[in-house]
Amino acid sequence: MMTAMTNNNGLSRLNKAPLLTPRSWLFVPAMRSDRFIKAMNSGADAVIIDLEDAVDATHKQQARQNVASFVLDQQQKPDERSFLPHLWLRINNPDQDEVSWQSDMQLCHQLIDSNNDSEQSNSSKLAGIILPKVSSSAQVRQVTQQLQTPVIAQIESALGISNLTDITQVSGLQAISYGRLDIANELNLRTGSQAEADFFGQLRMQMLIASKAHHLMAPIESIYANFKDTEAMTSVAGYASDLGFSGMLCIHPSQVAVVNQAFNVTEQQLQFAKQVIDHYKQTGDSIFAIDGVMVDLPVILQCQRLLESNS
């Protein structure tokens, strides 16, 4: 019997599905609306429109207007043409910039809550929220208790690392990532040293264990700042993939193909995609479950693209 699975927030536990772990996560500044579609067409599995570090204080409101206009435009498109199932929004942290966070949350309510009626397709909703500079579980709860959407927490400080176990236990959290540059700066780690490599190797293991223990999606690797150094980027992405991370953050479209290759699909994922498409073709259902994994229209479309690109 096919049944849906939900967590305590009523959200489908889609992170259990083998295909619902994007490999490449490409940032695009919210002030660069001219790059939104380009980012969506870059081949990245997920695109993060950034309202935080990429936008200075004087342009925050314009950036939010850019996001609102883009999402509204995408909501008017047919499901198969909408980019929204792959679109994430990085907002400000409530303890870092409360005023901006409040405004960001108002935008999120506008974009998410207004589209939560039963007749609205899941393809017309944002994929989720990225919360940066997370140092406590309370910060994450301030978001998850207000928004019925997946949240990814970025750990970027010593305090965040020390509270990792508490953070990963928050209901509604889907995954964690980390800010390598911020952490290295705070701890005064020497860039490129073996000591730095050892430290982040240990941190990755902590993140992996905490994520697995608390039933989150596997962690997401931090950005690699030098997007022109393809060889080093390949090495970092390959290491994270070998370790069991699910994907990697990207700051430039040229990094997407490298990351996708490093975190390439497995035979299990291809088999799952085939099961989904076969069931969809046979029944026409747009919401069902396979082996306890919830499937809806965004998943079906993702499976279709996966099979087409690996045919």
Which CATH code fits 22-254?
3.20.20.60
User: Cα–Cα distance between 41 and 255 in angstroms, integer?
Assistant: 14
Return the pLDDT at 248. 98
Return the pLDDT at 2. 31
Neighbours of 290 (CB within 10 A): 15
User: Cα–Cα distance between 168 and 92 in angstroms, integer?
Assistant: 19
User: Cα–Cα distance between 200 and 183 in angstroms, integer?
Assistant: 9
Neighbours of 215 (CB within 10 A): 13
Domain regions of the chain by residue span: 1-19+265-311, 22-254
Half-sphere exposure of 242 (CA within 13 A, CB side): 7
267, 139, 248: which is closest to 204 by C-alpha?
Answer: 248
Return the pLDDT at 16. 35
Q: Which two tokens stand for residue 131?
A: 């919360």
Alpha helices in 215-266 (DSSP H): 230-243, 256-262
Return the pLDDT at 15. 33
Measure the CA angle with vertex 54, ends 42 and 138; round to 5°. Answer: 105
* Ordered per-residue pLDDT tens for the chain, 311 residues: 233 333 333 333 333 344 457 999 999 999 999 999 999 999 999 999 999 999 999 999 999 999 999 998 888 877 656 677 789 999 999 999 999 999 999 999 988 865 555 445 555 578 899 999 999 999 999 999 999 899 999 999 999 999 999 999 999 999 999 999 999 999 999 999 999 999 999 999 999 999 999 999 999 999 999 999 999 999 999 999 999 999 999 999 999 999 999 998 788 889 999 999 999 999 999 999 998 888 988 889 888 877 876 76
**How big, in percent rounded to 5, are the helix, strand and coil portions of the chain?**
50, 15, 35
